[in-house]
Amino acid sequence: MAAEKIPLLSPYKMGRFDLSHRVVLAPLTRQRSYNFIPQPHAILFYSQRTTKGGLLIAEAAAISETALGFKDTPGIWSKEQVDAWKPIVNAVHDKGGIFFCQLWHVGRVSNYSFQPNGQAPVSCTDKQLSPAVLSDGTIMEFSPPRRLRTDEITQIVNDFKSAARNAIKAGFDGVEIHSAYGYLIDQFMKDSSNDRTDAYGGSLENRCRFALDIVEAVVIEIGADRVGIRFSLFTADNECWDSNPEALGLHIVKSLNKWGLAYCHVVEPYTTDVEKRQQIRRIHLLMRAAFQGTFIVCGGYDREDGNKAILENHADLVAFGRLFLANPDLPRRFELNAPLNKYDKSTFYTSDPVVGYTDYPFLDSSS
Ligand SMILES: Cc1cc2nc3c(=O)[nH]c(=O)nc-3n(C[C@H](O)[C@H](O)[C@H](O)COP(=O)(O)O)c2cc1C
């Protein structure tokens, strides 16, 4: 099939950005940003995955010192971090890519060791997470979080705003607000974690208020056409789920319409249950219909599924995580329907600047 006949490889206009295809690099934390500073080896990782007119979303970047919860993840709050991002962003731009920075606050998914002065992590709640087994088999202990007072919320909103300004200073084309996977914004949105009784808890409107305050602040700072947002309404990561994800999803996307954001990005949880998957896709389709803007889907997609999503108009763009991690030339492989490299889970979060990071072979070198 000629490239232009492959739905995933057809061009798409996302507001001010002319995309040459619809294969998006999903945000991928790799824990190789030593001491929270982006490193030169990320230049190669991202430029390997760049195509002219392709959209890339950078790994989650912490918006402030209180936003951290994992070793060697990058930040975007200091001048040193902004300067360290610049050559990475330049490399993507040199190859004609469009690059968004994912803005992250982990909330209670943290512990004293990551927090300034060993203080408690902040959240919408004081409910502590149970210890979790990380992919390398180590146990991560979470400290009891401190419930943010209502009058402290503006400070966190402002931290998102400054981080967005910093992302633009670093040269990024836009930002993606990370409201997924049980991190701070998701903690506020979902009723398993939000037990507040103030204007930021209780009703759907109240639970979404924090996310919408952040969107508004970031939009005012950098312009709506440079702002995307990511949700995972159906995941239960970090003990964060909702009793009515359909109502939550519809409410939030309808509330976003007043700004005209660059995109809404939704994640499907990993599941082998076909019926459950169909049910989730049905609700995402309702969200797509309600959202006036570009809609990105992600989670378990491959070439066939991705093409189908575009062809049947269930999404405008499809983001690929693990497949893109292991296949730097994923769009080209989709074009040729070539075999894919297998991803190696054991090196997802290891610190080596090359192994499992930039040494996945390109088609030409592996054939
Ligand atoms: C190694 C790894 C790191 C990830 N880091 C992030 C991240 O920083 N931010 C985020 O929103 N999702 C993150 N995710 C989730 C992916 O973006 C994506 O939603 C998930 O892998 C499902 O897509 P896939 O089936 O195409 O891999 C990560 C996933 C993996 C495997």
Which of 12, 20, 26 has the alpha carbon at shortest distance from 324?
26
pLDDT digits (tens, 9 = 90+) for 93-111: 999 999 999 999 999 999 9
- Reported as a pLDDT band with limits 50, 70 and 90, residue 6 is very high
Q: Of 116-130, 151-165, 172-186, 270-284, where does mean pLDDT reach its minimum?
A: 270-284
pLDDT of residue 364: 81
What ligand 1 atom has the least distance to the C-alpha of 230?
Answer: 11
What are the E-state strand segments in the chain?
12-14, 17-19, 23-25, 55-62, 98-104, 122-123, 132-133, 139-140, 146-147, 174-179, 227-231, 263-267, 294-298, 317-320
Averaged pLDDT for residues 126-136: 91
**Rounded CA separation 243/260 (Å):** 28
Q: Of 3-12, 155-164, 189-198, 325-334, where does mean pLDDT reach its minimum?
A: 3-12
pLDDT digits (tens, 9 = 90+) for 44-62: 999 999 999 999 999 999 9
**Rounded CA separation 118/65 (Å):** 11
Catalytic hit among 46, 183, 200, 301: 183
- Say which residue the tokens 């997470």 belong to: 129
**Rounded CA separation 286/302 (Å):** 22
Averaged pLDDT for residues 203-228: 98
Residue 360: pLDDT over 60: yes
Ligand 1 neighbours by CB, cut-off 6 Å:
26-29, 59-60, 102, 178, 180-181, 230, 267, 298-301, 320-323, 348
Report helix, strand or coil for 75: strand
- Reported as a pLDDT band with limits 50, 70 and 90, residue 205 is very high
The answer to whether residues 192 and 124 touch, using CB atoms and an 8 Å cutoff, is: no
What ligand 1 atom has the least distance to the C-alpha of 324?
Answer: 26
pLDDT of residue 136: 79
Which of 285, 335, 279, 290 has the alpha carbon at shortest distance from 315?
285
Residue 366: pLDDT over 60: no
Amino acid identity, residue 105? H
| CA contacts within 13 A on the Cβ side of 15 | 21
Give the global pTM: 0.97
CA-proximal residue: ligand 1, atom 2 (nearest) = 28
| Average pLDDT taken over every residue of the chain | 96
Residue-range domains of the chain with CATH: 7-347 (3.20.20.70)
pLDDT of residue 284: 97
* Total residues found in the chain within this entry: 367
Report helix, strand or coil for 260: coil
- Those residues whose C-beta lies under 8 Å from the C-beta of residue 98, and which sit 6 or more positions away, are 17, 19, 53, 54, 55, 56, 173
pLDDT digits (tens, 9 = 90+) for 274-312: 999 999 999 999 999 999 999 999 999 999 999 999 999
**Rounded CA separation 244/89 (Å):** 39
Backbone angles phi, psi at 117, to 5 degrees: 55, 25
pLDDT of residue 367: 43
- Reported as a pLDDT band with limits 50, 70 and 90, residue 271 is confident
State the distance from the centre of ligand 1 to the C-alpha of 74, rounded, in angstroms.
15
CA-proximal residue: ligand 1, atom 31 (nearest) = 322
CA-proximal residue: ligand 1, atom 23 (nearest) = 299
Residue 197: pLDDT over 80: yes
pLDDT of residue 134: 81
